[in-house]
Amino acid sequence: MNFERKCSVMVRKMKFGCLVKKGVAEVRERDLPEVGPYDVLLHMKVCNICTTDYGQWLGLREHQGYPMAGGHEAAGIVEQVGEKVTDLKVGDMVATGYEGCGHCPACREGHIDQCEEIRNDTEDGYKWGFFGFSNYCVKNSSGVYKVANDLNPSEAGFMEPLATVIHGAKKLRLKPFETVVVIGAGTMGLINAQTAKAYGCRVIVSEMIPKKIEIAKAMGFCDRSCWINQCQQSGT
């Protein structure tokens, strides 16, 4: 997949979307931070709207504070790498996740989102400063993951939520031919259903909203009534 590239040396400002209060978003501009030794400069391509962001928009998570420059389910192209970064290079397609120092107790236990050393609030007052809804941003390389360059950025942006689902599947110790019931056919529900299917499980999706039921069926999943009919036909 080919992308139009701009010379990172010329980039001095970043534009980004942020929530300033319930139901109100703005596009703002700020100086682009310096690229530190363990940082990368990203030319952002996509960013999903997570429940964290949407809940703030609805006024259900205002404890997170304003202005909120969220967006952590994103993908972009590496434009510049810090001198200590060895596993990424200019031109790589990457997906973003939470950043961690790798050394504090939370990081050592795998809870990178609770890192005690890296704070997401910025010095200039932005809460949850992931800046996924931006044209360019600087990220610590600990929260950036290389993906195939021919992967559609819209798909790469699902890396972080998919990783959380796989983590849950591992804790459940899913095995082939087990039956898994997923309650709710929203975005996360369908990712859970797809993951369970990839594990070789028989998947039933429970949902009440007709539109979501149709989407689940179009993706090859059965609702409860469909499963009952299959059982009756097979005599089980």
Domains, in order of start, for the chain: 8-158 (3.90.180.10), 174-234 (3.40.50.720)
Q: Mean pLDDT throughout 185-193?
A: 95
- What is the pTM for the complete model shown? 0.82
d(CA 186, CA 213) in angstroms, rounded, equals: 10
Record the tokens describing residue 18, joined without a space: 């942020």
Q: Mean pLDDT throughout 123-134?
A: 91
Name the residue with tokens 């978003």: 25
Kindly tell me if the per-residue pLDDT of 24 is higher than 80.
yes
In 10 A of CB 56, how many CB atoms? 25
What is the residue-averaged pLDDT of the chain? 88
The amino acid sitting at 214 is: E
Q: With bands split at pLDDT 50, 70 and 90, how would you rate the model's confidence at 2? A: very low
Helix axes 159-172, 187-198, angle to 10 degrees: 50
In 10 A of CB 78, how many CB atoms? 22
Kindly tell me if the per-residue pLDDT of 95 is higher than 70.
yes
d(CA 137, CA 110) in angstroms, rounded, equals: 25
Q: Mean pLDDT throughout 172-201?
A: 95
Q: Is residue 103 within 8 Å of residue 63, measured between CB atoms? A: no
Q: Which of 130, 123, 107 is nearest to 53 (CA)?
A: 130
Q: Mean pLDDT throughout 54-80?
A: 93
Q: With bands split at pLDDT 50, 70 and 90, how would you rate the model's confidence at 118? A: confident
The lowest-confidence range among 51-55, 179-183, 219-223 is 219-223
| Helix %, strand %, coil % of the chain (to 5) | 30, 25, 45
Q: Which of 70, 71, 11, 15 is nearest to 41 (CA)?
A: 11
Q: Mean pLDDT throughout 136-159?
A: 94
d(CA 201, CA 67) in angstroms, rounded, equals: 43
Q: Mean pLDDT throughout 92-101?
A: 90
Kindly tell me if the per-residue pLDDT of 119 is higher than 90.
no
Kindly tell me if the per-residue pLDDT of 139 is higher than 70.
yes
Helix (H, G, I), strand (E, B) or coil at 29: strand
Residue 127 is given by DSSP the state: B
Any idea what the Cα angle at residue 220 is, between residues 208 and 203, rounded to 5°?
70
d(CA 70, CA 19) in angstroms, rounded, equals: 8
Kindly tell me if the per-residue pLDDT of 3 is higher than 90.
no
| Phi, psi (degrees; rounded to nearest 5) at 30 | -150, 165
Q: Is residue 200 within 8 Å of residue 177, measured between CB atoms? A: yes
Helix (H, G, I), strand (E, B) or coil at 217: helix
Any idea what the Cα angle at residue 215 is, between residues 209 and 216, rounded to 5°?
85
Q: With bands split at pLDDT 50, 70 and 90, how would you rate the model's confidence at 8? A: very low
Q: With bands split at pLDDT 50, 70 and 90, how would you rate the model's confidence at 4? A: very low
